[in-house]
Amino acid sequence: MRLEFTPEGTTLIADDGTRRELKEGEDQETVAAAFRAEHPDAKPPVPASVTPIQMRKALRHLGLKATVDAYVATLDEEAAEEWEYALAIERGNATLQAAAAGLGMTDEQADDLFRLAASM
């Protein structure tokens, strides 16, 4: 959400383009909070890749690192090495997608994990 200030007044603009003009006497904070609830900001795009340290920090933050480590221990040597020594963790990687599914993650949860990792 963003604000647009014009000589005519202030307009709230949601990510989806919806506009709401503030009327004279309205409390900007109150109106903005209600508008934000009705029009939540769009999620950032899913990064194509993150660094291994970013992913491990995100997994630790979510309490999933030990679960993922245990899952990796069940993989064949090549797949485990791919996880352990990768220079980047690619969102579209088939091994990663299989691991996410094996851990019961939906595509949306995996996307959110990548978004979180990119922020770390």
Token pair for 36: 């934000």
Taking residues 71-82, report their average pLDDT: 93
Token pair for 108: 């949306």
Is the per-residue pLDDT at 40 higher than 70?
Answer: yes
Domain ranges in the chain are 2-38, 49-118
Residues shown for the chain: 120
User: What contacts 9, CB < 8 A, 6 or more positions away?
Assistant: 21, 22, 23, 24
Instruction: Please provide residue 85's backbone torsions phi and psi, each rounded to the nearest 5 degrees.
Output: -115, 10
Centroid of chain to Cα 10: 30
Strand 9-13 with 89-90, pairing: unpaired
For residue range 23-37, list pLDDT tens digits in order: 888 887 888 788 778
Whether the pTM exceeds 0.85: the reply is no
Percent of the chain with pLDDT over 70: 98
* 61 vs 44, residue with greater confidence: 61
